[in-house]
Amino acid sequence: MLKSLALAGALLCALTINSEARQRHKTYAAHPDCNVTMPCEGVAPSVRGERVVKAMGGFGSARKVYTPRVSQRREVSRFPKISSHAKYSANVAATLVSHPAGCPARAFCGCGAAVRIFGKPVRDLWLAANWFKFPRTAPAPGTVAVRRHHVFVLEQHLGGNTWLAYDANSGRHATRIHPRSIAGYTIVNPRGVAVKYSHWTTSEQRKLIEMHTRGFPTREELAAAFPRHPPYSILATAKRLGDRRNVYQLNWLRIAHQHFARREAEMRA
Domains, the chain, ranges and CATH? Answer: 29-65 (no CATH), 92-188 (3.90.1720), 202-263 (no CATH)
**pLDDT score of 155:** 93
Please report, rounded to a whole number, the percentage of residues in the chain having pLDDT higher than 90: 21
Residue 5 vs residue 174, higher pLDDT: 174
- What are 229-245's pLDDT values in tens digits? 777 677 777 777 764 44
**pLDDT score of 177:** 93
Euclidean distance between CA atoms 152 and 110, whole angstroms: 8
Please report, rounded to a whole number, the percentage of residues in the chain having pLDDT higher than 70: 74
State the pLDDT confidence band at 39, using cuts at 50, 70 and 90: confident
pLDDT above 50: residue 19: no
The region of weakest confidence among 46-60, 140-154, 190-204 is 190-204
**pLDDT score of 252:** 62
This prediction's pTM: 0.46
Sequence-ordered list of residues with C-beta below 8 angstroms from that of 60, at least 6 positions apart, any chain: 52, 53
Average pLDDT over residues 173-185: 92
174 contacts 106 by C-beta, under 8 angstroms: no
Average pLDDT over residues 11-18: 46
Q: CB atoms < 10 A from the CB of 72, how many?
A: 6
**pLDDT score of 150:** 93
State the pLDDT confidence band at 148, using cuts at 50, 70 and 90: confident
Report for 3-7, 203-207, 245-249: range of highest mean pLDDT: 203-207
- What are 65-118's pLDDT values in tens digits? 877 765 534 444 454 555 666 666 667 788 899 999 999 988 899 999 999 999
DSSP string, 7-60: HHHHHHHHHHHHHHHSPP---EE--TTBTTTB--TTEEE-HHHHHHHHHTTS-S
Mean pLDDT of the chain: 76
**pLDDT score of 100:** 92
Residue 119 vs residue 12, higher pLDDT: 119
The angle at the Cα of 223, spanning 222 to 224, to the nearest 5 degrees, equals 90
**pLDDT score of 90:** 65
